[in-house]
Amino acid sequence: MTDTTVADACIEWYDRNARDLPWRVPGTSAWAVLVSEVMLQQTPVVRVEPAWRSWLTRWPTPAALAADTPAEAIRMWGRLGYPRRAMRLHACAVALVERHGGEVPDDLDALLALPGIGTYTARAVATFAYGRRHPVVDTNVRRVVARAVNGLPDAGPTTTAADLVETAALLPADDARAARASIAFMELGALLCVARSPRCADCPLVARCAWRAAGAVPAQGPSRRPQGYAGTDRQVRGLMMAVLREAHGPVPRPRLDAVWPDEVQRARALAALVTDGLVEPVTDDATHFVLAGDRPPPATPV
């Protein structure tokens, strides 16, 4: 029989302390939940919420996005970062129209088969949009399980099959309550059981936490530091993307060159954007560029 004491304590805490986020409002569409999950990857809530509202206002359904171009999805993505996510959302919308009549499926295998939808996102949509019983495992959940159940200061660097099995074992048998537990685990990891300076005194699991019982020994070895941004190829790509997003027509190479002084780094950054499919050269000699899907139509012969 599943021991639900961890889930029960987390649900009770969540019911009192959960953040008021728009994609958690009852009745929110599965498409809106899917969009939120893609946007929230590597991006804080405070930046996602206004972008999510704007996106859903413009494209409230997969069919609405699929009818538009990838370039418009990239433009709408703005400065959320990692703009390939916008292209993946567009490809997902097209697939939803072609395979599922424009509806987001509730079946896990069907979700996993969609372009750009990985293990975490598929389970998150099935759980948070449809109330299914699936282990939803992100960095926050892995940290909660590592500490509360396994007595470790943190989980490993990547999600494994063992993480899914361990989290599934904590879920109540009832689908709806299991879904509630999944979001509660995630919220607990985001707000209290954080990587640095966890707020153990406020945690509903403090009395049963294996890590606390073992002395709350911190992780050994150097901690991972967030990757810098200033001066990186990623910053150069972002500057070039800003020029291309604001343009409605081919952008000449000199305008892109103007964003950064280092010629070698500029060329490398632009090549990476083309390789990633975010940017397309308009001419064979690569003198002008556009966002993906924004290439002007060929001239009609006279």
- Catalytically active residues are 37
Asked if residue 127 lies in contact with residue 134, where contact means CB atoms within 8 angstroms, the answer is yes
Which residues fall within 8 angstroms of residue 38, CB to CB, at 6 or more apart? Answer: 85, 88, 89, 116, 121
Asked if residue 266 lies in contact with residue 236, where contact means CB atoms within 8 angstroms, the answer is yes
CA torsion sign, 78 to 82 to 83 to 86? negative
CA torsion sign, 58 to 94 to 186 to 48? negative
Q: What is the amino acid identity at position 279?
A: V
Phi and psi torsions of 126, nearest 5°: -60, -35
What is the Cα–Cα distance from 290 to 90, expressed in whole angstroms? 17
Asked if residue 283 lies in contact with residue 271, where contact means CB atoms within 8 angstroms, the answer is no
Nearest to 117 by CA among 94, 144, 133, 101: 94
Token pair belonging to 7:
């889930």
